[in-house]
Chains A and B, each alone.
Chain A
Amino acid sequence: MVQIAVQVNGAGHANDVEPRLLLVQYLRETLGLTGTNIGCDTSSCGACTVLLDGQSVKSCTLLAAQADGTSITTIEGLADPDGTLHPVQEAFRENHALQCGYCTPGMVMAIVSLLDEEPELDEARVREGLEGNLCRCTGDHNIVKAVLAGAADRGTLVQS
């Protein structure tokens, strides 16, 4: 077993984990945070995207042991404790950026990371920035609209 100590959504957790335990299993099964979905399980679809020290990563392709000492944010950690949605979540709601919803938690986390990294975004960069997240409903159009709306709110949208 490997001892790990992580911050997840601001709360500290210390656990002994099996070396082969994947981060996504740790989040879902050990901590009970089932908002992070397992989709393809092959680091393609992005459904399992979480933030590791602020950067988007695919939690199906990380060992929990590798996350020792890091700060992790999952979809459960985005909204304010009083229920106020994160701006990206709000933009998803306003732009109807989900159909079945399975890819949504991963999409939202990838977008939070993208908006944080990219000071200026246009539609092409948004589409490229979401290449690691697949929506099998093919609902990408409204997802892109939501990101652009989020960028417009932040004043970082570049008109192309």
Chain B
Amino acid sequence: MIPAAFDYVRAGSAEEAVSLLIEHGDEAKLLAGGHSLLPLMKLRLATPSVLIDVGRVPDLSYIEERGDEIAIGSLVRHHELETSELLHAQVPLLAHTAHQVGDPQVRHRGTLGGTLAHGDPASDLPAAVLALGGTLVAQGPNGRRDIAATDFFEGFLETALAPDEMLVEIRVPKVPGAGWSFQKFNRRAQDWAIVGVAAVTNGTTGIALVNMGSTPLRATAVEAAVQSGASATDAAALAAEGTEPPTDLNASPEYRRHLATVLVRRALEEAGK
């Protein structure tokens, strides 16, 4: 399968990427690891006429402490997340979740910024960032702005990024002693989750769902129930509230709703809510 023809340009910096986005408008897409975009282009489900390769932009591949948060450059690859000692110590949910993505070859290429900007509800890492209450940093023509993860995912493969913005950084709170869990149910090891759940308990409980709607979702009803003292089983019974799970070869919406309650219960129990 061969993608439709396109022009290829390289950006040497985030500023240059933004200039190129302004120059090429809606016809352009940013290319980082390419493991979400290139498969779509090979199927001709995406046919951008210009690819702006940001894969070589320097200085966006860091994982570092910044006050109460860990700051991660958007070009950090899944393999770097899963092997980061700093993340394992401070935000183990994120390191563990990165290890669940695809397979080793995919994790060698895919980037955290890419998977978030793609906004696929079936992806694992967006749910982890959402459960953690992370912050995403977009760079545009007028500088940088912070976007709360809870405001970032707007629709199926749609995010709050403007057409002339590039995601440059992700910040997540340090939660070294927190309870956490990532539950992923699939048929084969390398598959997307049929349903997934990311949970973190650190005073308050954050729960996010994979593949239960058109975007990664917070399970707000479950979070509220846990906050008011409900048991894991009672809180998890609310897991499908407000969701519109998809239907596909693997599962019906009813199956996914049931699965969500089971996986959220397991996640709450493992996180010791």
Also in contact, A131 and B35, with CB within 8 A (given A20-B5, A61-B109): no
Once the chains are docked, how many angstroms separate the CA of A57 from the CA of B190?
A: 14
Report the stretch among A37-45, A72-80, A89-97, A150-158 that lies at the interface. A37-45
Q: Is B53 an interface residue (CB 8 A)?
A: yes
A131 contacts which of B31, B42, B109, B189 (Cβ < 8 Å)? B189
Report the stretch among B99-107, B148-156, B247-255 that lies at the interface. B99-107
Q: Is B162 an interface residue (CB 8 A)?
A: no
Q: Are A42 and B3 in contact (CB under 8 A)?
A: no
Also in contact, A63 and B34, with CB within 8 A (given A131-B189, A132-B103, A132-B105): yes
Within 8 A of A (CB), among B78-110: 79, 102-106, 108-109
Within 8 A of B (CB), among A1-60: 2, 18-20, 22, 41-44, 46, 49, 52, 55-58
In the assembled complex, the CB of B226 is this many whole angstroms from the nearest CB of chain A, namely 32
Which chain B residue shows the least CB distance to A46?
Answer: B105
Q: Are A58 and B53 in contact (CB under 8 A)?
A: no
Q: Is A129 an interface residue (CB 8 A)?
A: yes
Residues from chain B with Cβ under 8 Å of A131 in the complex: 103-104, 189-190
Interfacial residues, chain A to chain B (CB-CB below 8 A): 2, 18-20, 22, 41-44, 46, 49, 52, 55-58, 61-63, 65-66, 110, 113-114, 117, 128-129, 131-133
Task: Render B93-137 as a binary contact track against A, CB cut-off 8 A, 1 for contact.
Answer: 000000000111110110000000000000000000000000000
Q: How many residues of B contact A (CB 8 A)?
A: 28
Residues from chain B with Cβ under 8 Å of A110 in the complex: 104-105
Residues from chain B with Cβ under 8 Å of A18 in the complex: 5
Q: Are B42 and A19 in contact (CB under 8 A)?
A: no
Once the chains are docked, how many angstroms separate the CA of A66 from the CA of B8?
A: 10
Q: Are B6 and A55 in contact (CB under 8 A)?
A: no
Also in contact, A129 and B104, with CB within 8 A (given A42-B42, A43-B35): yes
Interfacial residues, chain B to chain A (CB-CB below 8 A): 1-8, 31, 34-35, 38-39, 41-42, 51, 53, 55, 79, 102-106, 108-109, 189-190
A-B contact pairs, 26 of them (CB 8 A): A19-B6, A20-B4, A20-B5, A43-B102, A43-B105, A43-B106, A44-B190, A46-B105, A49-B105, A58-B106, A58-B109, A62-B38, A63-B8, A63-B31, A66-B34, A66-B53, A66-B55, A110-B104, A113-B104, A117-B104, A129-B104, A131-B104, A131-B190, A132-B105, A132-B190, A133-B103
Residues from chain A with Cβ under 8 Å of B4 in the complex: 20
Q: Are B104 and A20 in contact (CB under 8 A)?
A: no
Residues from chain A with Cβ under 8 Å of B55 in the complex: 66
